[in-house]
Structure formats: C-alpha cells, structure tokens
Chains A and B, each alone.
Chain A
Amino acid sequence: DAGVIQSPRHEVTEMGQEVTLRCKPISGHDYLFWYRQTMMRGLELLIYFNNNVPIDDSGMPEDRFSAKMPNASFSTLKIQPSEPRDSAVYFCASSFGPTGILGYGYTFGSGTRLTVV
C-alpha cells in the first residue's frame, strides 16, 4: 500500500497565481480530509469528503479556496488567487469511516509545502 500520495511536495508561486494541490487517498477509504498546518494555528481542518461528497467546508478560509473530489481516487485543493498568508503545509488524509478502521484514525500524506511570494 503506497499510502496517501500528495503532489507536489513543494510549491513556490507568486502572489496572484493559481495553485492546485493534489491528493490520492488510500484505495477503499471513504473519507478524505484536507488540513493546513502553520506554526501559529497548528493543524486546521479545511474540508472533508465522504464518498466523494463534500460534507463540511466550514474550515475553508475564503472563497479563494476550493476543493473537489471527482472520484474516489483523486482530490484537489485549489487556491485562486494565492496570497502570501496562504503559505503553509497542506496535508491530505484519508480513512475508512469518520475515525478510521477500528477507530485507528487517519492516514496522512507527506504534505505539500506551499510558499507564496
């Protein structure tokens, strides 16, 4: 099992540009989560999906952020236009059920470090 795969690992972009982060969850997992991590705020839940349907996007900071899950094996998080304050590490995680099989929690990807200059 390759785990949760995120791409790219690092992204440096100029303010105002569109940024797209990608995630491939573990096969068979029916929940997918997008998190943002910063020193100030820690891990923030942005949005999560169940069976490809967005369930709660209350953590999405602004309309500049959007997420899609067109099928069970792929999700994107898009920021348009990007701003320097969006600089953070973005994690994707997946699970079977809201807390994972037997409550074993989520499997996280390695993250995308986004820098907006």
Chain B
Amino acid sequence: GQQLNQSPQSMFIQEGEDVSMNCTSSSIFNTWLWYKQDPGEGPVLLIALYKAGELTSNGRLTAQFGITRKDSFLNISASIPSDVGIYFCAGQLGGSQGNLIFGKGTKLSVKP
C-alpha cells in the first residue's frame, strides 16, 4: 500500500530549541495534515494544508505543503515542555477520494 515516510522517528531537544520534522512519499497528495498526540490521548489536528507551496502557521507551529506535492514539513519554534508528544503527518492521495494515510509519527521529547 501507499506509505508516508516520516522522519525523524524521535527527537530529544532542549527547551527553547527549534524543531523540524517532515513527511515524504513517492506519490502525489491532495491534502497534508499534521496531528499531535499528547500522552494518553488521541491525535488532535494542528494544521491542514491544501495547495502545493502553501505555508501555514498556528502559533509557534509552521507547516508547508511541498511544491512537488510529495512532501510536507512541520516546524516548531522555541519549544516548550508541553510540546512533548507524537506528531503525525497524514494525507489524501492525489486523484483519489479515499481516506487519509498516516505516517508512523515523530516522538518529541523536550528537556526543561
């Protein structure tokens, strides 16, 4: 089946540092979404992207829909302890009306 390659798998950073993670695929996507999962909870939507090249911010978070439509990245600036969790990318394949495909997640740990 189609896969999203999400990297890195995990990150250990110091509070205040910036974070960058990305998702890539060999296929074209219509939509890219980024979710965050807090410990013990379900994933919650952070940012949704709909057009190639689109750059969207949500507070300290910034995400971009890659020009080739095959990738997306998420940046977190000035990390704080509550940024801890697992971040998932998800997307809908181009030319399909199918359900979302999820990446395997990036686990973020922040040291105070």
- Which residues of A are in contact with B by a Cβ distance under 8 Å? 4, 31, 33, 41-43, 45, 48, 56, 91, 93, 98-99, 102-111
Given contacts A98-B97, A99-B100, contact A105 B42 (CB under 8 A): no
A-B contact count (CB 8 A): 57
B18-26, B44-52, B56-64, B67-75 - interface stretch:
B44-52
Q: A43-B43, A103-B50, A109-B42 are in contact. List 15 more A-B contacts (CB 8 A).
A: A4-B42, A31-B99, A42-B105, A43-B88, A56-B99, A99-B31, A102-B48, A103-B30, A103-B48, A105-B45, A105-B48, A108-B42, A108-B43, A108-B44, A111-B42
| A110 touching B100, Cβ below 8 Å | no
Give Cα distance in the complex from A111 to B43, angstroms: 10
B42 with A43: CB separation less than 8 A: no
Chain B residues touching A, range = 20 to 34
Chain B residues packing against A (C-beta within 8 Å):
30-31, 33, 35, 40-45, 48, 50, 88, 90, 92, 97-100, 102-105
Cβ contacts under 8 Å, B44 to chain A: 108
Q: A8 to B100, alpha carbons, bound, how many Å? A: 26
Q: Could you show 9 A-B contacts with beta carbons less than 8 Å apart?
A: A41-B104, A42-B105, A45-B99, A103-B50, A104-B48, A105-B100, A107-B45, A108-B44, A111-B40
